Structure formats: C-alpha cells, structure tokens
Structure 1
Amino acid sequence: MPAIGCGIGVAFGLQVPRSGPAGFDPAQLFENGEPGAWYDPSDLSTLFQDAAGTVPVTASGQPVRLMRDKSGHGNDLTLTNAALNDAGGLRSIVFNGFSASGVSGSIDFTGTNQVTVWAGLRKISDGSAGTVVELSPGPANSGIFTLSGPGTANVANYAFRSQGTTPRFATTAANFPAVTRNVVTGIGDIAGNSVAIRVSPLKACD
C-alpha cells in the first residue's frame, strides 16, 4: 500500500529532465505543452478538504478531497478516503488501503505512443499489490499503463505496465521492502514495444 509524497505525475513522451544545482524540476516535463498532470502534496496551496476547492488543507490529519494539477493543464485530482500526513518531515497523502482512490478528468494522450510516469512514494506494506497510477478503462484495452507498488502481493518490488496491443511489463527485483521511500519512474513506448522502470531514494521535499 503506497502513500504519495513529493508528487506524482504523468507526461507524454520519453522525457529526460535536465538536472542542475537545484535538482529535478517536474515543470520541465510540461514546458512545451506536453499533455499530462503533476500533483504535489508538499505544496499546501494545491490541497483542499472539499471537492469544490473552497476549504484548504492546513494541517496533518485533515482529509484531502482535491489536489490541484501543477502541470498547467487543469487536470485536478479528486480523492476519496485520503488524508494529509507530515510525519518524518515528509508531507504525503495517505490512503486507507482498501477503498481509497483518486480520479482526474480525461487526459488526451491520443497524440502520442509514449509516456513517462513518476511518483514519490512511501510504501508502507507489501501485503497486497497496490496501484499507484493508471490509465485504463480495463485490462483488455489497448493504450493503457499502470504503475504499482508492490507489483505483486507479498513481494518487495515495484512494477510498470505499458500496453499497446500487447502488454509489456517491467518489474524491479525484490529489493524494496516496506516501509520504504522511493521515486519510481515508469517509461513506456507502445510503438517501440518497450517499457522500463527506475527506482531512486526519496528524500524530504521541503
């Protein structure tokens, strides 16, 4: 079961962000108008206790019903059974583990065959497979992707699935037992029939 901390995002294309003294800036992935979304729990100005976005989140433990999209595309995320947690110096959105979800409006990826998905995660259990983010009306559909942590129940791993007409999977070794903090990136190219996953340590955002 994952908690989202530092951010989660989806961008079109096989993105290679620039690095520098300030490190990675997710805004780089959208600077040319690429479709997608970027959600940042460390930024309290984007979090609200109601779906209408009128009651701001101001403290740990408060419910989070809405996260504003920071990509500039207005793909805000509506949440159920989620709350803000700032334990250990890392702001995150914590889900209840069995009936929580987050849904955005439709994002049009029909103009591309490539996608980059990243998430800063605190994985607090490996007991069951956990979906972090997906674009999928159903597992039999083409043009879908899913990032999971863990990818398999009772296995300390992460997984990324990208599917054109044929599903492709990238799964890490079981080197990430809960509780763990990681930045997980999935890259899919359904035209090139390729998929990759990368895991890096996650540090506090503030």
Structure 2
Amino acid sequence: MNVYKPEIAELLLLVEKKYGKALRTTTDFEEFSFYLQSHSWGRISTSTLKRLWGYVNDMHTPRMQTLDLLSRFIGFDLFSTFCSYLKSSSAYNSSFFSACQVTASELVPGAEVEIGWSPNRYLRLLYKGKALFEVCEARQSKLQKGDCFETSAFLKGQPLFLPYVLRDGVRTSPFIAGRNGGLTLLNCIGHE
C-alpha cells in the first residue's frame, strides 16, 4: 500500500509544470527519461515513468530513489523534504476563509439570486426550495433559461461547481461557472 499517494500526485504535477509538458504518451515518457539523463538529473526508465504516471496499470510502489530524483528535479533535496514542505506550506493546507455568500438554507421559495462571472456572464435564478434553482434569465452563459440545478451555496470569488444541470428533463454533465476568478457578482433578492 502506498501511503504517499497524494504527495506523489502533487510531485508529478510539479514535475510536469517544471518540464513544461504533460506526460501522456509513450513518446512523452521516452523523451522525459532522455531529458533527465542528458541533463545529469539521473536515470529513470521509461517503464518506471509509465507506471508512476499511471499510463500502465501496475500497483507497483515506486522506489524512494525514483521519488528523490524527481524531487531534486523540482528543487528539493529528497522526497521526504518535499513531503515536509507540503505539510507546512500554507498553499497546500486547508483553512477557513471569509467570503460573501448566499446559502440555500437562508432563502425562501420565490427568492431570486443574481450571479455573474468573467467574461460578462450573468444569470438570474429563482429559488424553488430544497436547494433547487431555476434559471430565469441568462446572458452569455452556456446555461439557458429554464435550466435547473441544485446547490447549497454561492460564494463570491469562488467557482460554482454543479454536479449536473437539469435541461428539458435530462441531466447534463457536471458544470463549472467562474472557473477563472470565481463568481464576480452575487446578489440576493427576497431572502430572510
């Protein structure tokens, strides 16, 4: 059992960021293996990289030597140093935060909520009760008048994640509003 799964996942993301390219194909792994060796980082075989990135199904636990080499590649002495950094860094820790918010529990059926996000997206929503909202007006949005969705809260400055949108009686794929920058407009009309 690999006790470092979240740490390894973060390591792989940072390796790709520093390398400047996502590793998704056999050629990508071959090139990255060659890159590491030719730039004196050390040698990691293509097959090891494929296993580590989940390109091939293998429950193999990576060697600490491999994790140490990748940690050095992104600027840490050892994988254990990288893990310590993750535990102490405020960028990776959960925390409470302040935000202007509207929660469904504070609304009464018939209340309206306005939300907006960049660039120039706007929705006016009707609260139907039980955390269900219906789109009454939509401007420059992929959501349309008549669409319905469930959410327990809107947070200004945060993206709105919806598990589905109900459109003409059919559930869509998940939807995200305000992916970059979050909701920039949040007004409530008729709440308690």
> In which range does the TM-score fall when normalised by the shorter chain?
under 0.3
Q: Give the strand-richer structure, 1 or 2.
A: 1
TM-score (norm. length: structure 1): 0.19
The TM-score with structure 2 as length reference comes to 0.20
Higher relative contact order (CA closer than 8 Å, sequence separation 6+): 1
Report which of the two has the higher share of helix: 2
